[in-house]
Every structure is written in structure tokens, then in C-alpha cells.
């Protein structure tokens, strides 16, 4: 699995983050994207992490996707994961209105508070469109919110895999269009702290022993 890891096998590395209330389907969405499967998952504990290699816009990309727990008890934790993310995916459940309103009430504020990346691309995702009959949040509402908040928008279903690929693709393409984010994600070679020599102590630190 690490046979080729000494070679940079990707052009860019992007950090993406999934946030949203508990049970909206963040982990399902991620699982659907990374391994084409759908199953009933238990609530995420803390954070989960998955890697997916994709080729988009002619570039080989490595996506490091952090999936955070939506449960209240882990709320303090997610704050530290916003740091350095190039893309943030806000997920709500189209059949549960409070998951939608919480995005502006809670999650949006969290992003403003903790994200260190000014240009970071945000995306609003309405999940569970397969349950059309139970829908309570209309597409129009989603579009309006996205426009107001200045983010991308898509509706998808992790279960039927409708729009799952597109969701990540749109986000990543947008990141690729943003020079500042691109610069961050560029990794010429592997930066491995254990293989590189530490910087030589500069002159100011030596000279008294």
C-alpha cells in the first residue's frame, strides 16, 4: 500500500470537511462517494477520515475528507478541524427542517469563527432526496440560502447515489479555480518531517558555549 508513497502520485492534496446535524447523512454521503456503497451507519464518533484519489480537470487529486460527528457532545471537537480546510460541505436532511435551520443558526457561525481559510469553498448539500414524499425543505429554499451565504448548492441522495459524485466534483472544480487554495494544496513532494533534515540552527542561537 505504500509501495509508491515515496513518489508524489498526485498533483494536489485538498482537505475537505463534512459538517451538519446528527443523522443528516454525512457519513453515508462520504461512504457513497468513496466506496459506492450505502448502509445503515451508527452515529459517527468524534471524527472519521477517508482518502479518495480522483482525476478532475486534468489533475490528479488526493482528497482527504474529514467526516465530523453531528452529535451535540462532539460539538467542541469539530471546531479544530475547520483549520486549513479548502472545502467545507454543509449537509442537511431535506426531510427535517431543523437540520436546515441549524445550518444558519449554528454551523454557519462555526465556520466564520473557526475556518482559517478566507477563500475556502463552501457547499450546501441537501441530502435524502430519495424520500421525496417526506420532503419539507424545498429546493428553492436551499438555493436562496446558498445565494445569501455565498456558497455552492446541490441536492443529492447518498442512498440512490444521485448527485453524489457531482457534489464533490463541483466543489473540487471550484477549489481548482481558486489560486490561493491551489497553492496550499500543491505538494511537490511528500513533506515528511521524519525524512527531512531540520533546519540548521541559525547563528543567533549559537555562540556562547
Partner 1 sequence: MSPSMLSPTQRYAAGALFGMALHQAQIHQTHPLGSTAEDEDPTADRISSGSSSDSVAEDPLLWVHDSSGLLRPIFRFLEIDKNAWTGLEETAASSPATHHIGAFLRLLSEESADTSSEMKDMELALSKSVDVMAQSTEATPPDFERKMEKHREYEQECRQKFSTDIQSKSEVENMQLEIPEGPSCNMISIEQTTNQSGSYIHEKPAEEVMMLSYQRKVTVLYELLSACLADLPEDKKKSKKRRRGYDARHRLALRLLTTWFDINWTKMEAIEIMVACSAMAIVKEEQSKEEETQSPKSSWAKWKRGGIIGAAALTGGTLLAITGGLAAPAIAAGLTALAPTLGTLIPVIGASGFAAAASAAGTVAGSVAVAASFGAAGAGLTGSKMARRTGSVDEFEFKAIGENHNQGRLAVEILVSGFVFSEEDFIEPWEGRHDNLERYALQWESKNLIAVSTAIQDWLTSRVAMELMTRGAMMTVLSTLFAALAWPAALLSVTDLIDSKWAIAVNRSDKAGKLLAEVLLKGLQGQRPVTLVGFSLGARVIFKCLQVLAETEHSAGIVERVVLLGAPIGIKDESWEAARKMVAGRFVNAYSTNDWMLGVAFRASLLTQGLAGIQPINVPGIENVNVTELVEGHSSYLWATQQILEQLELDAYYPVFNSTHVRP
Q: Which residues bind partner 1 (CB under 8 A)?
A: 1-2, 5, 13-15, 42, 44-51, 64, 66-67, 73-74, 76-77, 79-81, 83-86, 116-117, 184-185, 187, 190-194, 196-202, 205-209
CB closer to partner 1, 133 vs 193: 193
Q: How far is the CB of 183 from partner 1 (least distance, A)?
A: 9
Q: How far is the CB of 48 from partner 1 (least distance, A)?
A: 4
Q: How far is the CB of 30 from partner 1 (least distance, A)?
A: 11
Cα 80 from chain centroid?
14
Helix (H) or strand (E) holding 174, with range, is helix 164-177
Q: What is the spatial distance between Cα 82 and Cα 192, in angstroms, rounded to a whole number?
A: 22
Q: Evaluate whether 90 touches 25 at the Cβ level (below 8 Å).
A: no
Q: How far is the CB of 73 from partner 1 (least distance, A)?
A: 5
Q: What is the spatial distance between Cα 86 and Cα 124, in angstroms, rounded to a whole number?
A: 15
Instruction: Please give the backbone phi and psi of residue 131, each rounded to the nearest 5 degrees, phi first.
Output: -90, 55
CB closer to partner 1, 86 vs 127: 86
CB closer to partner 1, 166 vs 189: 189
**Spatial CB neighbours of 139, under 8 Å, sequence gap ≥ 6:** 126, 155
CB closer to partner 1, 76 vs 133: 76
Amino acid at each position: 500500500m505504500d509501495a509508491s508513497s515515496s513518489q508524489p502520485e498526485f498533483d494536489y492534496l485538498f482537505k475537505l470537511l463534512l459538517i451538519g446535524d446528527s443523522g443528516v447523512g454525512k457519513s453515508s454521503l462520504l461512504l457513497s462517494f468513496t466506496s459506492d456503497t450505502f448502509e445503515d451507519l451508527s452515529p459517527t464518533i468524534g471524527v472519521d477520515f477517508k482518502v479518495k484519489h480522483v482525476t478532475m480537470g486534468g489533475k490528479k487529486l488526493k482528497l482527504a475528507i474529514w467526516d465530523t460527528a453531528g452529535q451535540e457532545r462532539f460539538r467542541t471537537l469539530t471546531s479544530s478541524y475547520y483549520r486549513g480546510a479548502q472545502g467545507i460541505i454543509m449537509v442537511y436532511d431535506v426531510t427535517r427542517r431543523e437540520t436546515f435551520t441549524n445550518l444558519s443558526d449554528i454551523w454557519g457561525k462555526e465556520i466564520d469563527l473557526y475556518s482559517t481559510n478566507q477563500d475556502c469553498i463552501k457547499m450546501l448539500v441537501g441530502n435524502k432526496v430519495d424520500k421525496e414524499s417526506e420532503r419539507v425543505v424545498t429546493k428553492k429554499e436551499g438555493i436562496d440560502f446558498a445565494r445569501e451565504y455565498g456558497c455552492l448548492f446541490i441536492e443529492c441522495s447518498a442512498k440512490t447515489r444521485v448527485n453524489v459524485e457531482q457534489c464533490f466534483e463541483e466543489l473540487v472544480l471550484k477549489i481548482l479555480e481558486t489560486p490561493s487554495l491551489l497553492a496550499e494544496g500543491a505538494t511537490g513532494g511528500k513533506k515528511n518531517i521524519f525524512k527531512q533534515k531540520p533546519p540548521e540552527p541559525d547563528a543567533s542561537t549559537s555562540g556562547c558555549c
